[in-house]
Chains A and B, each alone.
Chain A
Amino acid sequence: MIKDAVCSFCGCLCDDINVEVEGGMVKRVRHACRLGSSKIMGHGRIESPMIRKEGKLAAASFQEAYDRAAQILLAAAKPLLYGWASTSCEAAKKGILLAEEVGGVLDSTATVCHGPSVIGIEEKGLPGATLGQVKNRADTIVFWGCNPAEAHPRHSLRYSSNSCGRFTPQGREGRKIIVVDVRETRTAKNADKFVRIAPGSDYEVISALRMLVAGKGDVVPEDVGGVSKADLADIAATLKAARFGAVFFGLGITHSRGRYKNIDNALSLVAELNSHTKFVIMPMRGHYNVGGIGQVLAWSSGYPMSVDFTRGGPYFNPGETAACDLLARRDVDAALIIAADAVSNFPRATAEALADIPVIQIDPYENPTTQLSEVVIPCAVVGVEAEGTAYRMDGLALRLRKLVDSILPSDEEILVGILESVHKQRLLRANEEA
């Protein structure tokens, strides 16, 4: 039995998973939620590398796949290297090196989830804490536009509403839980107060709360985003009365009208609450290492997402260098998609641009991106079949373990294979020219 393994599914990175392995196979998974155990138990995989020949994907060797991938990247004027949220930081480092080598744009799935949060943080900074701090201290928790009951099933028990700690021995009993959402989610059902707001009204509601917290309630209208002023005043009072408050926010606010401005406003609210009491705020990061690619990219290039390496020096301008914008403008001429299913997760019109350019896919699993890929390279699953580093939603780095062996190479090894092929082909070309 392997004790205290780290689950590599969601941004909670639960590290108390016990796994029984027998004959090189995972037999039982304990402590993980349904999402985590289904991943660790394993399911349908791509078995062999494939290269498209005469319109059909046909099995190939890894070396052939690396060579074809390198050829595509070298031929492209501006390749996109996208994904990275469900693989290790070690793979991310090699990916960044590859993007520098071939002069590409590297972007992560953050741009279709918490990208607006990153922009909000660039505007205002992030007053945060580790999750254990929330567990030990928070007596008031707000879930805004997020639904951990379905997206991060063990969040509440391990870190938030239902956890117990030094100054929170009563757990759920001793806490006030407020859920703000446009629909009554499962998370809302566990709350002391569910605040239903009209879709797209997050910004206005936050502004009203800021006014009330600042004691300027007289400028707040009677109804804001479908919430009565009395209700808002009640919430503001609860927030101010907290001994330690925490706000968790999700795609309900980053994806809605106002996008990064909503986050900017929420960050301001939390900063202001700190003149009254203690408050922290944290994005609920979805994929287990979407935080990690942001960290690695920031220390390597200075920017946490959407980095354009085609000019030699790193360049960042979301709206210009983000994957969705590049594809919508048809501004990239090849794509490497790793640990993400861009075809499913992008708007249809954006995804269609991928059909017109050669795509290299690195992924353990078949998905719609596979259908239009030129090269498909299967990999070992990080956290199950390969070691590596991941960053939890609060920015804490953990080392993922290898639980069972795989005949497949890791993402990191695949990227090294492609890098080596890039060097080899460059050298060949230089020799031919000479």
Chain B
Amino acid sequence: MIVKGGIVYDPANGLYGEEMDLFIDQGRMVEQAKGEEIDARGLLVMPGGVDAHSHIAGKKVNTGRIMRPDDARQGTEPRTAVCRPSTGYTVPNCYAMGYRYARMGYTTAFEAATPILEARHTHEELEEIPIIDKGALTLFGSNWQVMECVRDKDLSKLAAYVAWGLRAARGYGVKIVNPGGGEAWGFGANVKGINDPVPNFDVTPAEIIMGLAQANEMLNLPHSIHLHFNNVGKPGNYTTALETLDLLKDIKPSRMRQIVHVAHMQFSAYGGTSWRDFESKAPVIADYFNCHNHATMDMGQLLFGSATTMTADAPLEYGNARLTHNKWSNHDIELEESSGVVPMVYFRKMLVNAVQWAVGLELALLVKDPWKVLMTTDHPNGSPFVNYPEVVTLLMSKSKRDAEMATLHEQVPKRTVLGGIERELDWTDIAIMTRAAPARILGLEDKGHLGPGADGDVSIYNLRPEEVDTSQDHALVKKALANAKYTIKGGVLVSKEGRILAAPPGRTFWVDAAVPQADTDRLMIDLEEKFAKYYSIQIANYAVQDAYLPHAKVIRAGLPVPLQEVA
């Protein structure tokens, strides 16, 4: 396949809007190839989009669907010769997820939070999502075995457990949500800060985070720890964020990447002592990111309208439900986690929501290096992912931001600095924040760029970067981003101007990390006891069987293996 004459943005390879041809053969980018020609003359061309943090599969997503038939009704699209039917807006069915990502030019999305015990369910759904490549991050932050290893300061056993847990869950990386809080929630409590001990376990959230970060680097995992802070969603929580980030700054990375990726930073950049004096602390947070290089973030942008909040931060969801009097689902997972789901509507005239909207944008605009900030909405917590074009255009157009600001609660200019930010992102910034950076942050070597050997994932938009004024023509830009002119996934043309042409299955990435057998042996003594006494299932039935990942892509990691002599 040849993509002819596009204006290519491939920042990972130093291409910032160059007119050139691209070649794909057997699903990969190559230097030369023959075959079908795609006419991209003068059009915006980027690698396929990569979403590093989205809630697309598993128990809490399905709980969202089951409790929200109202939401399902909003997105009904009938079956076609190629497509299964679609439903839903904030909690779309599996098929809609694949089609809607592909329409926007996205070819990869990672599920952000899966307990090991329920990973089988997550993979059942991931496998049902067509077209895009996927992976799932595995939750470790309130896990009994983790907390006990941390308490005993047994780092090598902890690393062995992380490797074992990733293998059991067929997981991609280490996710930590409100560390310790999930355990405390088992008896209806929470932890209040990183030094507040977890009841019954004699460890603090700070120790859990440090332990897992060290184990993560010991195992040389492609991704860093992926952290949802304590106190997310609360006024004044920016101090927790800064304290936590500072904790990690001296750890040495095992790869060329961050030490910690912060999930949905927007929800943790708040000042004030209550909802009354609630204000943005995005400038302070952005400053920290500008002065340090060990952390990256995704925005977790909030947009006005309907959302469904879902997180392993169960106490947060209970708070949401009490605050809004909305329906509430909770799900605690024995020995591992807790979680909750609450539908939500965000309003322009509600001061808190309006400030939250501004905070996400401030973060993305005030952090100077686009490689440190990913464009996300923490789908579907801040807004469903179909609204990414809205976020991108807000970042690219000051006039659009001003027009929006004028419709919000009148206090917003006093509580935020957004109005004073002149910066408008360009296509290079956007290509980094939606493609190159998420791939690099996740450690996906063949994603997010178009160099030889990369996956043949290309998106082509009906926009002429050399002509369009992104600052003024934001409506046009938004429309073009919503439906790519062409989306190519693994060398297959899957979508054209919003029409799905093919729906091949995507792959699922997971990480298999090697550890010394002796450490695993020590670990197994603990685990066998836990299964005998505490788990409600047998250890033999725990790990996800290969039958659930018919399109698996295994990435090897782990402790360094001795180099073999080359004959």
Contacts and interface: CB of A to CB of B under 8 A. Distances in A.
Please indicate whether A and B come from the same complex rather than being unrelated chains. yes
- Of listed B68, B186, B537, B538, residue having the most chain A CB within 10 A: B537
A397 B118 contact: yes
Contact of A302 (B69, B534, B541): B69
A389 B76 CA distance: 28
A100 B536 CA distance: 37
Interface in A1-58: 3-4, 6, 15-16
Contacts of B62: 295, 298-299
Contacts of B68: 122
Contacts of B329: 121, 125-128
A300 interface: yes
Contact of B321 (A271, A304, A396): A271
A309 interface: yes
Contacts of B270: none
A132 interface: yes
B536 A294 contact: no
B64 to A, nearest CB: 9
Contacts of B120: 389, 397-399
A15 B538 contact: yes
Interface string B58-71: 01011101111101
B125 interface: yes
Interface string A410-426: 00000000000000000
Contacts of A132: 334-335, 534-537
B67 A278 contact: no
B288 to A, nearest CB: 35
Contacts of A123: 327
Contacts of B92: 302
A165 B125 contact: no
Interface in A85-129: 89, 93, 97, 100, 118, 121-129
A166 B321 CA distance: 30
Contacts of A275: 322
A314 interface: yes
B22 to A, nearest CB: 35
Interface stretch (B80-88, B245-253, B480-488): B80-88
A133 B63 contact: no
B347 interface: no
A280 B330 contact: yes
A313 B85 contact: yes
B79 interface: yes
Contact of B78 (A122, A303, A312): A312
Given A125-B67, A127-B330, A312-B78, A135 B118 contact: no
Interface in B218-250: none
Interface string B85-106: 1111001111100000000000
Contacts of B95: 300
Interface in B316-368: 318, 321-322, 327-335, 341-342
Interface string A308-330: 01011111100000000000000
Contacts of B61: 299
A367 interface: no
How many chain B residues sit at the interface, stated as a range, is 35 or more
SS class of chain A's interface: helix, strand, loop or mixed?
A: mixed
Contacts of A302: 65, 69, 71-72, 75, 87-88, 91-93
Interface string B531-549: 0011111101100010100
Nearest to A271: B328
Contact of B124 (A89, A97, A313, A395): A89
Given A125-B327, A278-B187, A396 B118 contact: yes
Given A132-B334, A137-B187, A299-B128, A126 B84 contact: no
Contact of B327 (A124, A244, A398): A124
Contacts of B322: 275
A425 B200 CA distance: 65
A424 to B, nearest CB: 17
B187 A274 contact: no
A121 B77 contact: no
B188 interface: yes
A130 interface: yes
B519 to A, nearest CB: 24
Contacts of A244: 186-188
B117 interface: yes
B121 interface: yes
B188 to A, nearest CB: 3
B190 to A, nearest CB: 12
Nearest to B341: A125
A316 B71 CA distance: 12
B85 A100 contact: yes
B335 A313 contact: no
A100 B187 contact: no
A136 interface: yes
Contacts of A238: none
A243 interface: yes
Given A302-B87, A389-B120, A122 B94 contact: no
A396 B185 CA distance: 20
Task: Rank and list the top 5 A-B pairs by shortest CB-CB distance, nearest first.
Answer: A132-B334, A312-B78, A302-B72, A302-B87, A132-B536
9 contacts: A4-B538, A125-B327, A130-B333, A132-B534, A136-B335, A300-B95, A303-B65, A313-B77, A314-B85
Interface of B: 57, 59, 61-63, 65-69, 71-72, 75-79, 84-88, 91-95, 117-118, 120-121, 124-125, 128, 185-188, 200, 318, 321-322, 327-335, 341-342, 533-538, 540-541, 545, 547
